[in-house]
Structure 1
Amino acid sequence: MNWADADEPTVSIITVTFNSRAALLEYWSGWDGSAEWIVVDNASTDDSAQVARDLGARVIRLETNLGFSGANNVGARAASGSVLGFVNPDVAIQQPAVRALAERAAGGRRLVAPQLVNVDGSPQENGRGAPYPHRKLAHMFRPSSRANQKYSRVISSGIENVVWVMGAAVFATREVFDEIGGWNEQFFIYYEDSDICLRALNKGIRTEVLGDVKVTHGWSRATVHERSSAIWKIEFSSAVKFYASHPYCLIPIGPRGRTMREADRAVGGGPRVS
C-alpha cells in the first residue's frame, strides 16, 4: 500500500481471472499500485496470469477452475490487508475509489460497493432489492416493468442501504468477511453475490452502495447477450441452489423473511445512511 497515513486501513484487492487477458489489458493497464493486488487465475488457457504479473499483481495460478467463489476464498486466505476488496478483471479501479471504499468498510460491520458505471459513463443498476424470483425474471426479460423498478437501483449520490449488490466490486474488513463465512463455494458462478449479501444480512451486517464513488465496469452478462445453453444451465443450477439455501426468498416468512422484507422496504425509500 502506498498511502502516506499509517492509520489508513491496509487493503488487498483480489481479482479472479479465467481467460481474462483482454479484460486485464483494457481495465487494469492503468493500475496505480495503491494496494496489494492478488490475481487468482482459474486455470486459464490464455496468458492471463503473465499479463497480471506484468501489470503488477501477485498471481496465484490454480491447476483447476474452482469457480468465482472458490478462487476468491483462495485470494482472501493469501491476502495481508485488513480490508479485502473483491474486484473483477473487467473493472477499472484506482486509489481514490479504493481508499473511499476501504475507509467506509473499515468504519463498521458492512459490505460496501461503489456505484458501477458503463464504459460510456452511464450508470449500472448494481444496487438490488430482495431477490424474489419474479423480480429476477423481470430484471432479465422486462427491465421496464414495475417488478424491476424496486429491484434494480442506481445510487447517484450519497450512501444507500440495499439488500444485495453485484459481485463485481465488493469491500469488507477481514473480520466481517470471516464472520460471514467467506464466499459460498457451492456457487461456481452466478448467485454468489446474492448469497453472500443475504448471509451478511442475517448476521446484522448491512450492504451499502456509495453513490459518489463511480467505478467503470465493462459488464457483459452472458446469459442475456449470448443465451448459450451451457450458460443457462449454470445459471439455473445456481438458482436452484440459491433458493434452496434461502427459501424465505420464495415465501418471505419467519425471522429471516421478516429481516429481508424490512431491508427491502428501506431500499430507495429511506434516508441516506451516515
Structure 2
Amino acid sequence: MEKIAVVILNWNGVKLLEQFLPSVIQFSPEATVYVADNASTDESVAFIKNNFPTVKILQNKTNQGFAGGYNDALQHIDAEIYALVNSDIEVTENWLKPILETFDTESETAIIQPKILDFKRKNYFEYAGAGGGFIDQFGYPFCRGRIFDTLEKDNGQYNDKCEIFWASGACFFIRSAVYKELKGFDQDFFAHQEEIDLCWRAINKGYTIKYNSESKVYHVGGATLQQANPQKTYLNFRNSLLMLTKNLPQDSLLKVLIIRLVLDSIAGIRYIIGGQFTHCWAIIRAHFSFYRLFLRNYKKREKKQVETYFKTKSIVYGYYVKSGTVFADVI
C-alpha cells in the first residue's frame, strides 16, 4: 500500500493539466500522482501520456461528476491517504509534509484541508475552502476567509491548525479507510457540497476534520462551473437540502427544512429583483428535485446523528442584517 496518492479528477481540462500538473509532480515526491479522467473528449489522456509518463492514468467510462468520478477512480488505488486535488490547483513546496505529520500524530483526524488562496490574487483567500469550512444551522456553508461572496485578504489571521466542520473538495485529504467506511461521496449530489456531506457523515461517526495552514495551495476556481452559472445555483441549493435531510438530528430536521425552504424562496425573490431570472428558476428546479429525492435520501440517514455545534445560528442574518463581512463578525 502506498502512503499517499495525489488524485486529480479531470474532465476536458488539458489546458489546466498543462499549466498545473508540473507543480504537482515537482512538489509531491512523497506521493504517487494519478489523473482520474472523467470520460474527457479532448486530448487530455494523450497529453498526459506524451508529456508526463510518470503519472498514472485512470479512465472512467462515463462522466459522473465529482462524486461519481472519484468513487469510480479511488476503488482502483491502494493508498493509505487520498489527496483529492482539482486540476486548477497550484501546489507549493513541501505542501504534503505537514498534512502527513498531522495524520501520523492524530489518529482521530480523518480529513484535512490546507490553506487555499486565490491563484489570481495570491494574497487573498479563495472562495472554495479558504481557511476552513463551517455551516450554520440552516445548512448554508461559509469559511474563515470567505463569507458568501466576500473574500478576506490573507494577513496571517488564519495561520493555525484547528478543527473545522468541512474541508474543501478543491484540495481534500482523507484516510482511505474512512473513505471506504463512509462509502465515498454520495453520487446523488453529482457535484457541489458532496464534500460537506462526506465530512458531516464523518463527524457523525466520531471523526475529526482539521485545517492546517502550514500546507498552502492556490486555486483558480470556477474552472468547471463559473459562480454565475445557474446550474451551479441549482446543484448548491438542491444538494444542501439533501445534506440536511441525511445528517440533521431527527428532532430538528422538519423545522430546519421548513425554515430553509422559506429562506431559499427569499433568495429566489432577490434574484428576480436583480434581474437574474435563470437563477430563480434554478432554485425552483432545485426544490422540485429535492422533493423527488427526499425519501431516497431520508433512508440514507444513520441510526444516530450527533448534535452538531454550529459556529453561528444564521449566516444569512449575520451577513445581510448585521452586515458582517468577515468570519469574526458572524460567529
Return the TM-score normalized by structure 2.
Answer: 0.65
Number of aligned residue pairs: give it.
Answer: 249
Q: Does 1:127 align with 2:127?
A: no
Where 2:158 maps in the other structure, the secondary structure is coil
Q: Does 1:246 align with 2:244?
A: no
Mapped to 2, the partners of 1:232 and 1:184 lie a distance apart of 18
Q: Quick check: 1:70 aligned with 2:63? A: no
Relative to structure 1, is the Cα distance of residues 82 and 68 closer, same or farther in structure 2, using a 3 angstrom cutoff? same
Q: Structure 2 residue aligned with 1:98, among 96, 117, 134?
A: 96
* Conserved? CA contact 1:42–1:63, under 8 Å: yes
- Tell me how far apart the structure 2 counterparts of residues 180 and 14 of structure 1 sit (CA, whole Å): 19
Identity rate of aligned residues, in percent? Answer: 18
Alignment of 1:16-165 (within 5 A): 16-30=9-23, 31-32=25-26, 34=29, 35-53=31-49, 54-55=51-52, 56-94=54-92, 96-107=94-105, 108-110=107-109, 111-119=111-119, 120-121=121-122, 122-124=124-126, 125-133=130-138, 135-136=140-141, 143=149, 156-165=158-167
Counterpart CA distance in 2 for 1:14 and 1:128 is 21
By how many angstroms is 1:115 displaced? 0.6
* Whole-angstrom CA distance in 1 between matches of 2:4 and 2:77: 9
Distance change in 2, residues 1:16/1:66 (3 Å): same
* Comparing 243-252 and 43-52, the one that deviates more: 243-252
Structure 1 residues 46 and 112: CA distance shift in structure 2, 3 A: same
Question: Residue 5 of structure 1 corresponds to which residue in structure 2?
Answer: none
Q: Write the distance in 2 (CA, Å) between the matches of 1:74 and 1:186.
A: 14
Contact 1:130 1:163 in 2 (8 A): yes
Task: Find 2:219's aligned residue among 217, 220, 228.
Answer: 217
**Which 5+ residue runs of structure 1 have no aligned equivalent?**
2-8, 270-274
How much does 1:97 deviate? 0.8
- When normalised by structure 1's length, the TM-score is 0.77
Larger CA deviation: 194-203 vs 25-34: 25-34
Cα contact 1:16–1:89 (8 A) shared by 2: yes
1:88–1:168 Cα contact (<8 Å) kept: yes
**Residues 126 and 167 (structure 1 numbering): CA distance in 2 closer, same or farther, change over 3 Å?**
farther
* Alpha-carbon contact 1:156-1:212 (below 8 Å) kept: no
For each residue in 1:87-107, what CA deviation from the matched residue of structure 2 results, as whole angstroms up to 9, or x when unmatched?
Answer: 111112256112221232233
Q: Which residue of 1 aligns with 2:186?
A: 184
In 2, are the aligned partners of 1:105 and 1:171 still within 8 Å (CA)?
Answer: no
How far apart are the structure 2 equivalents of 1:195 and 1:155?
27
Q: Taking structure 1 as reference, are residues 225 and 177 closer, same or farther at Cα in structure 2, changes over 3 Å only?
A: closer
Structure 2: how far apart are the matches of 1:176 and 1:136?
23
Distance in 2 between residues matched to 1:155 and 1:48, nearest whole Å: 39
1:219 Cα shift? 1.4
Report the Cα distance in structure 2 between the residues aligned to 1:162 and 1:155, rounded to whole angstroms.
15
Report the alpha carbon displacement of residue 223 of structure 1 after superposing the two structures with TM. Answer: 6.3
| C-alpha contact (below 8 Å) 2:133/2:142 kept by paired residues | no
Shift of residue 184, structure 1, vs aligned partner: 1.9
SS in 2 for 1:230: helix
In 2: Cα distance, 1:126 partner to 1:225 partner: 19
The structure-2 alpha-carbon separation of the partners of 1:101 and 1:73, relative to structure 1 and needing over 3 Å to count, comes to same
How far the C-alpha of 1:157 sits from its partner, in A, is 1.5
User: How far has the Cα of 1:178 moved from its partner?
Assistant: 2.2
Higher alpha-carbon Rg? 2
Q: Residue 168 of structure 1 corresponds to which residue in structure 2? A: 170
Give structure 2 stretches of 5+ with no counterpart.
257-302, 313-326
CA drift of 1:51 comes to 2.8
